[in-house]
Amino acid sequence: MSAGHWPMRAEEVIRLPYRSETAALLSESATRLFGAVNDGELRKAELGEWSETSWREVAEAGFPLAFVSEAGGGFGVAPAEAIELVRIAGYHAATVPLAETMLANRLLTEAGFAPVDRPATIAPVTGRSAFSLQREGAGWRIRGRGAGVPWARHAGTIVALADHDGSPFVVALNRTIAELEQRASLAGVPSDALTIDALLSNDDVRPAPTRWNCETLRAAGAALRVAEMAGALERVLELTVTYANERVQFGKPIGKQQAVQQSLAVLAGQVAACGGAAAIAGAAFDGLDIPSIAAAKARAGEAVSVAAPIAHQVHGAIGFTEEHRLHFFTRRLWAWRDEFGSERHWSAILGRQALAAGAEGLWPFVTAFGAAQEAR
């Protein structure tokens, strides 16, 4: 296949059997909104500048409520369809915490809270983070530390899972009660550390629904990161193929060289694999199917580890410059590989489950991955 036949988008590789009209309209709206973001806005965001205008446009479109039921103010689309918004945001390197707010609202509404339209985030994100609750007077005291909490400094609400006597509780925190240490991810996106020791009212605390705990919360976040990674990798492929067709060396585009074409073929294969992983993670999101999400996150991380270096090799030195836009996507990809669990984290979980399945159960365990996506 010649470079001129590419790029191939993920929906050309993994076609959904059905997409509701509402979901299609949401995707079109997201493409228009995030597609208007220019490189200047991306640079400002990575320097710590918050765009209230950008968030207001996202909120007015209703995207933060995409996982909320229609009765709760959402659109009534299936979660696997709503995740398409996150993929589009990744494709355009969106400068707002869309995935985090969507997930925060899902957890809030399932616990009986009202959803929020202000930016929100969730904690814990990493295994090094933990929060505990104790009864104090007529209310609660929450204590703990969170590492790598995305967009915390800009969030109006931080939704946390905290432990009380061995049971998880959902806590809706006002950001102002947390002591924040501003940090950034490899992508330049806020990834703050927080320390909390504060009193809460009973209105701020709810028992977590049965299916929610730190492990399933991390899996839900990982599923959203896989969707973002799939979108960003699509963009990386498009940028790389375009550059290969435009960059002329020795009188012809470098995309005509067999060695470059082979590299582009490998890159396209990894993009397709990540698109497949995103489809599996999306189908597994609603049921919080940890093995499927674990496999998807591990495979997406592997795709990034192969694809991003190829993109930079094809671009040469220009791909590493601040002026070129490639780094907006590759740095996000490298950061997202580790957030909500790295390949090592999720592969270890899969390994333990495979051992537990035993010799007789290994094949059914392996073939069960993606079954939910195939059934759609």
Quote the domain boundaries for residue 85: 3-118
pLDDT at 345 (0 to 100): 96
Same domain, 156 and 252: no
Residue 309 has pLDDT above 60, yes or no: yes
Residue 334: how many other CB atoms lie within 10 Å: 16
Residue 7 has pLDDT above 80, yes or no: no
Domain with 17 in it: what CATH number? 1.10.540
Last residue of a domain, one of 207, 233, 261: 207
Task: List the structure tokens of 159.
Answer: 């939704």
263: closest CA among 236, 223, 232, 294? Answer: 236
pLDDT at 372 (0 to 100): 54
Going by C-beta distance under 8 Å and a sequence separation of 6 or more, which residues neighbour residue 91?
A: 34, 231, 232, 234, 235
DSSP 169-221: EEEEEEGGGSEEE--B-TTS-BEEEEEEEEEE-GGGEEEPPTT-SHHHHHHHH
pLDDT at 371 (0 to 100): 61
Same domain, 149 and 192: yes
Half-sphere exposure of 73 (CA within 13 A, CB side): 17
Residue 375 has pLDDT above 70, yes or no: no
Same domain, 48 and 180: no
Task: List the structure tokens of 198.
Answer: 């504060």
Last residue of a domain, one of 53, 87, 118: 118
Percent of the chain, pLDDT > 70? 93
Same domain, 232 and 200: no
Domain with 304 in it: what CATH number? 1.20.140.10
Domain with 177 in it: what CATH number? 2.40.110.10
Same domain, 233 and 337: yes
pLDDT at 4 (0 to 100): 44
pLDDT digits (tens, 9 = 90+) for 139-198: 999 999 999 999 999 999 999 999 999 999 999 999 999 999 999 999 999 999 999 999
**In which band, very low, low, confident or very high, does the pLDDT at 6 lie, cut at 50, 70 and 90?**
very low
**In which band, very low, low, confident or very high, does the pLDDT at 376 lie, cut at 50, 70 and 90?**
low
Residue type for position 345:
H
Same domain, 91 and 112: yes
Last residue of a domain, one of 207, 241, 261: 207
Beta strands in the chain (DSSP E): 120-123, 130-136, 139-150, 157-164, 167-174, 179-181, 191-200, 205-207, 248-249, 252-253
Same domain, 369 and 270: yes
Same domain, 94 and 157: no
Computed over its alpha carbons, how large is the radius of gyration of the chain? 21
Same domain, 114 and 8: yes
Per-residue HEC secondary structure of 93-119 comes to CCCCCHHHHHHHHHHHHHCCCCCCCCC
125: closest CA among 67, 76, 190? Answer: 190
**In which band, very low, low, confident or very high, does the pLDDT at 13 lie, cut at 50, 70 and 90?**
very low
Domain total in the chain: 3
Phi, psi of 95 (to 5 degrees): -105, 30
Min mean pLDDT across 32-41, 208-217, 280-289, 366-375 is at: 366-375
Same domain, 189 and 251: no
Residues in the chain: 376
Half-sphere exposure of 155 (CA within 13 A, CB side): 34
Same domain, 172 and 95: no
Q: What is the mean pLDDT of the chain?
A: 91
Residue 224 has pLDDT above 60, yes or no: yes
Q: What is the rounded CA–CA span in Å between residue 7 and residue 265?
A: 10
Strands 157-164 and 120-123: parallel
Same domain, 84 and 10: yes
